Amino acid sequence: MSSLNQSLHQRQKQELALKPKMLQSLKMLALPILELESFIKQELINNPLLELRDEKDEEDLDDRSFESDPPESNVPIEETEPSPEHSETMNEAKELTEILDQWNDYHQSSDGWQGESETEHTETMVRYEEDSRDKFMEQLYPYSLSEEEFDFAVDLLDNCDIYGFLPPDFDIAILASTYDIEPQRSEEIHQIMLNFVPKGISSRNIAECLIAQLTDEQKDNCVLIGIIEEEFSNLIHRRYQKIASHFGVSEDTVFAMRDQISKLDPKPGLRILTTNASYVYPDITLKMVDGEYVVIINDQITPNIIISPRYRKMLSRGFFDKDTMHYVREKINSAKFLIKSIYMRMRTLERVSLSIIKYQHDFFYNGSGLMLPLTYSVIAQDLGVSESTISRVVKHKYAETPYGICALKDFFTSTAGMDDNYESISRQKVKSNIIRMIDQEQKDNPLSDQELVEKMKEDGLNISRRIIAKYRDELGILNSRLRKIKS
């Protein structure tokens, strides 16, 4: 008979724990310039030690007299010796003051170097419509999908109507076969997409759409599932008694099921339509200076910050208890970390921009308008950072270039095929060739997708017909039959 033994073991395990300050720094890294301005102003509200600098000279602030203010203590200043903690706090406050002065001086010198007025900055703001479909597909990134599987998922979404449904009798397996994906794997990818937010998009029918939105507990309810799959038509026409007799339950139960179903969205696709227009302000400006590109961080709209005069006075006199001293030191450290995070954001953004220019040399220096295949991992390896850092840096950020305002993420494009030298071809280059060839085609005898493939091969680009058809659809170009114009 085996006996039970108790033992004590010690195990060492490595874990990555993100502290609140680290999370704040990562959040600031992902913020575009306009949101960063709002974030800093909110931090000023949370940190009373900091204030916005007024337009008048700071000399008035330094020369301000506090003699009229009531004393904080009855002990004469001459008879009071500052404590070590107070001296340390004073040194930290002086250090923070120097940091803020340098930061504000940098803003002033940057404004003077660029010589741009506030009106000119306003003109660089552009209107754009955020593509919610792209944001929906971003949920695929955590999954380990191959390029073919990712393209299959995108194609699946492209086949959905505005309500989020696939066409009637749509065969997912046939679409998967064009990407050399097994039917079982295609169904797994489809189930993943059905559970994205909003749930139910890419459904083949209303039942699949509604069931995808149910909780695990609701999916165990046979009556609820049965009503959705078998008696949905009767539910719409309010034939509650017929439904109750079919499942052998009371009408109150049917009413309860109806209330749960009424909270589901029968048209989830409408929630990812592009409807909201926004305005963007470029985070950086890329300018050619003496034959080389320089990166200018557009941070002129970020506020200039100073230490509150009230807290300056308290620190200089030093008459407050230890709790207040601890509070002041905490706010000083918070302010120093805020400035450090802003600087690190600027520095990282500058390094990533310079790396993008290096890898997209032909686009920037030759003005070809064509980009080479580029991924986050290439820039991450170049800078010695993680891919997630690159993703945060380019997210929702824009660059003002000699060729217009571009989203930083547009400089990253995946491989669409290979040329005769076995070098990767970017999607953007393939699309540019498609537009050029179709513009030059005979309108009474337009080029088919296969003919486009052959013409691409003549130019040394080996692209599949499936890729041609996909990019043509993305460009909003009709097929050859619909493009044909009889002379």
Alpha helices per DSSP H over 308-404: 309-317, 322-359, 361-365, 376-383, 387-394
What mean pLDDT comes out for the span 122-131? 52
For 301-350, how does the pLDDT look when each residue is reduced to its tens digit (9 = 90+)? Answer: 666 777 777 777 766 665 566 777 777 778 878 887 888 888 888 889 99
- Answer yes or no: is 4 within a domain: no
Highest mean pLDDT among 213-227, 275-289, 335-349, 457-471 belongs to: 213-227
CA–CA separation, 425 and 432 (whole Å): 12
CB 409 within 8 A of CB 130: no
- Answer yes or no: is 470 within a domain: yes
- The reply to whether 140 and 232 lie within a common domain is yes
* pLDDT at 72 > cutoff 50: no
| CA 43 vs CA 25, 47, 302, 307, 441: distances in Å | 13, 6, 12, 13, 59
- The reply to whether 137 and 256 lie within a common domain is yes
Highest mean pLDDT among 89-93, 313-317, 351-355 belongs to: 351-355
Task: Please report the pLDDT score of residue 362 as a whole number.
Answer: 84
- The reply to whether 156 and 259 lie within a common domain is yes
* pLDDT at 204 > cutoff 80: yes
Structure tokens at 24: 């704040």
| Cα–Cα nearest to 254, from 269, 238, 265, 268 | 238
Task: Please report the pLDDT score of residue 391 as a whole number.
Answer: 85
Please state whether beta strands 398-401 and 284-289 pair in parallel, antiparallel, or not at all (unpaired): parallel
**Percent of the chain beyond pLDDT 70?**
74
Task: Please report the pLDDT score of residue 230 as a whole number.
Answer: 93
- The reply to whether 382 and 451 lie within a common domain is no
Q: Give residue 399's domain range.
A: 280-297+345-411
- 73: pLDDT confidence band, cut at 50, 70 and 90? very low
For 383-442, how does the pLDDT look when each residue is reduced to its tens digit (9 = 90+)? Answer: 998 888 888 888 888 898 888 888 888 888 766 556 555 556 777 778 888 888 988 888
- The reply to whether 214 and 315 lie within a common domain is no
Sheet with 461-462, strands from edge to edge, namely 424-426, 415-419, 461-462
CB 259 within 8 A of CB 240: no
- Answer yes or no: is 365 within a domain: yes
| CA 193 vs CA 130, 141, 349, 466: distances in Å | 20, 12, 33, 22
- Answer yes or no: is 11 within a domain: no
- Answer yes or no: is 225 within a domain: yes
What mean pLDDT comes out for the span 13-41? 73
- The reply to whether 223 and 198 lie within a common domain is yes
- The reply to whether 138 and 264 lie within a common domain is yes
- The reply to whether 112 and 32 lie within a common domain is yes
- The reply to whether 143 and 219 lie within a common domain is yes
* pLDDT at 77 > cutoff 60: no
Lowest mean pLDDT of 97-101, 362-366, 476-480, name the range: 97-101
* pLDDT at 221 > cutoff 80: yes
What is the maximum span of the chain, computed from C-alpha positions, in angstroms? 104
Task: Give the chain's mean pLDDT.
Answer: 78
Task: Please report the pLDDT score of residue 198 as a whole number.
Answer: 93
- 79: pLDDT confidence band, cut at 50, 70 and 90? very low
- Answer yes or no: is 213 within a domain: yes
The number of domains in the chain is 4
- The reply to whether 46 and 111 lie within a common domain is yes
- The reply to whether 153 and 234 lie within a common domain is yes
* pLDDT at 68 > cutoff 60: no
- The reply to whether 258 and 164 lie within a common domain is yes
- Answer yes or no: is 417 within a domain: no
For 234-270, how does the pLDDT look when each residue is reduced to its tens digit (9 = 90+)? Answer: 998 889 999 999 999 999 999 999 999 999 999 999 8
- Answer yes or no: is 78 within a domain: no
